[in-house]
């Protein structure tokens, strides 16, 4: 598939024209400047601008084309100009829906908990003739990642000694790869697309592509990008993610996360905190930030313990189930 052939379209003043691109039922405009494109597997790990310093107004990368005729990711490939105080809706003055507010809180909680770590984006696509559904395929991939180690990557030929020192400088050779994620499923592509934000170790794109093809039988288009620097502005990034995936568009299906994103049962702990402060949302947010930063505190007879073993303990009756 080619987006455009021939000379790049330009305005009368010579500047690149803005062309609409329709994808997954959505329409996007972007500054189109034709560049030669090679039909090949995407690079192992592309470059992604640090959104915290660029104000989310710069393009997040080039637009890779797949053999299935669709770019694999909205988040990674399209520019946006979302201000930190704007709501991710078609009209920026509209109130967020409950779904958007929940998604924002879940994503932001993970970004704050992992503040200072390097964030990566992983996109998994689908194709006709898959031998497993998307959700089952992803479960298989997670198990493969949990069993993979730097030593095995070297043995299988996916990294060399130089890359070992670069990507895993202080990691034991036989320690499994870390993969703490928040996953958004959309109805894009053939049978859906997974857009995944994750903190953890570098995972070679070629290895993910090979394993994804083996698991699904046919699909192999995957995309991995990394921020240039650790996350510094969680709120801007969380708003951007909500704007892209949970903005009432028909492409959105569902979202979920791993226990390592914040901690097992963290949503239940948040709800308990709201009750403990009698519904004072501003106070709850302040105390929640303290909890995510590792501070333990007591409110109304309840002890709130921080992640990774996040939980609530009754001073009189002992630990309770926050769910």
- Residue 231's pLDDT is what? 85
User: pLDDT-derived band of residue 250, with 50, 70 and 90 as boundaries?
Assistant: low
- Does the pLDDT of residue 67 top 80, yes or no? no
- Does the pLDDT of residue 90 top 70, yes or no? no
Read out DSSP for 111-123? HHHTTTSPEEEEE
- Does the pLDDT of residue 56 top 50, yes or no? no
- Residue 228's pLDDT is what? 87
Burial 219-235 (b: 16+ CB within 10 A, else e): bbbbbbbebeeebebbe
Q: How far, in Å, CA of 213 to CA of 141, rounded? A: 10
- What's the average model confidence in pLDDT over 92-106? 81
Q: What rounded mean pLDDT belongs to the chain?
A: 77
What does R_g of the chain's alpha carbons equal in angstroms? 21
User: pLDDT-derived band of residue 305, with 50, 70 and 90 as boundaries?
Assistant: very high
H or E element, residue 210: helix 205-216
- Does the pLDDT of residue 52 top 80, yes or no? no
Comparing 21 with 264, the larger pLDDT belongs to 264
User: Which three-class secondary structure state does DSSP give residue 302?
Assistant: strand
User: pLDDT-derived band of residue 66, with 50, 70 and 90 as boundaries?
Assistant: very low
- Does the pLDDT of residue 186 top 60, yes or no? yes
- What's the average model confidence in pLDDT over 110-128? 95
Contact criterion met (CB below 8 Å) for 246 and 252: yes
Strands 179-186 and 252-257: antiparallel
The angle subtended at Cα 83 by Cα 81 and Cα 87, nearest 5°, is 105
Contact criterion met (CB below 8 Å) for 261 and 182: yes
What are the CA-CA distances from residue 205 to residues 80, 123, 131, 143, 208 (Å)?
A: 25, 11, 22, 17, 5
Q: Return the closest-CA partner of residue 23 out of 68, 74, 75, 64.
A: 74
Taking only the tens place, the pLDDT of each residue in 196-239 is 999 999 999 999 999 999 999 999 999 999 988 898 889 999 99
Task: Please report, rounded to a whole number, the percentage of residues in the chain having pLDDT higher than 70.
Answer: 67
User: Which three-class secondary structure state does DSSP give residue 23?
Assistant: strand
- What's the average model confidence in pLDDT over 156-185? 96
User: pLDDT-derived band of residue 48, with 50, 70 and 90 as boundaries?
Assistant: very low
- Residue 10's pLDDT is what? 52
pTM over 0.75: no
- Residue 16's pLDDT is what? 53
Q: How far, in Å, CA of 267 to CA of 300, rounded? A: 19
Lowest mean pLDDT among 244-248, 266-270, 280-284: 244-248
- Residue 118's pLDDT is what? 94
- Does the pLDDT of residue 129 top 80, yes or no? yes
- Does the pLDDT of residue 241 top 50, yes or no? yes
- Does the pLDDT of residue 77 top 50, yes or no? no
Q: What are the structural domain ranges in the chain?
A: 37-261, 266-319
Q: Return the closest-CA partner of residue 190 out of 66, 312, 68.
A: 68
Task: Please report, rounded to a whole number, the percentage of residues in the chain having pLDDT higher than 90.
Answer: 57
């Amino acid at each position: 598939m080619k987006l455009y052939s021939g000379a790049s379209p330009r305005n009368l003043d010579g500047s690149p024209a803005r062309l609409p691109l329709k994808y997954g039922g959505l329409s996007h405009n972007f500054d189109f400047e034709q560049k030669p494109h090679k039909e090949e597997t995407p690079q192992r790990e592309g470059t992604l601008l640090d959104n915290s310093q660029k104000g989310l107004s710069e393009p997040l990368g080039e637009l890779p084309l797949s053999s299935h005729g669709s770019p694999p990711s909205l988040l990674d490939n399209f520019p946006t100009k979302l201000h930190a105080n704007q709501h991710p809706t078609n009209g920026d003055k509209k109130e967020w829906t409950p779904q958007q507010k929940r998604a924002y809180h879940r994503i932001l909680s993970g970004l704050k908990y992992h503040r200072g770590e390097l964030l990566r984006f992983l996109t998994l696509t689908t194709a006709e003739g898959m031998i497993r559904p998307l959700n089952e395929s992803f479960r298989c991939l997670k198990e493969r990642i949990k069993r993979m180690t730097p030593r095995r990557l070297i043995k299988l030929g996916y990294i060399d000694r130089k890359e070992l020192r670069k990507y895993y400088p202080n990691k034991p050779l036989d320690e499994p790869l870390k993969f703490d994620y928040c996953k958004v499923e959309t109805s894009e592509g053939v049978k859906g697309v997974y857009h995944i934000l994750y903190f953890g170790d570098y995972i070679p794109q070629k290895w993910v592509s090979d394993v994804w093809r083996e698991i699904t039988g046919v699909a192999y288009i995957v995309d991995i990008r990394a921020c240039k620097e650790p996350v510094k502005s969680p709120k801007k990034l969380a708003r951007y993610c909500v704007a892209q995936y949970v903005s009432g568009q028909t492409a959105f299906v569902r979202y979920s996360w791993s226990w390592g994103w914040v901690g097992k049962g963290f949503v239940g702990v948040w709800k308990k905190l709201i009750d403990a402060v009698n519904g004072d949302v501003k106070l709850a947010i302040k105390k929640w930030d303290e909890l995510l930063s590792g501070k333990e505190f007591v409110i109304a007879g309840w002890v709130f313990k921080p992640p990774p073993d996040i939980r609530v303990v009754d001073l009189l009756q002992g630990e309770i189930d926050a769910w």
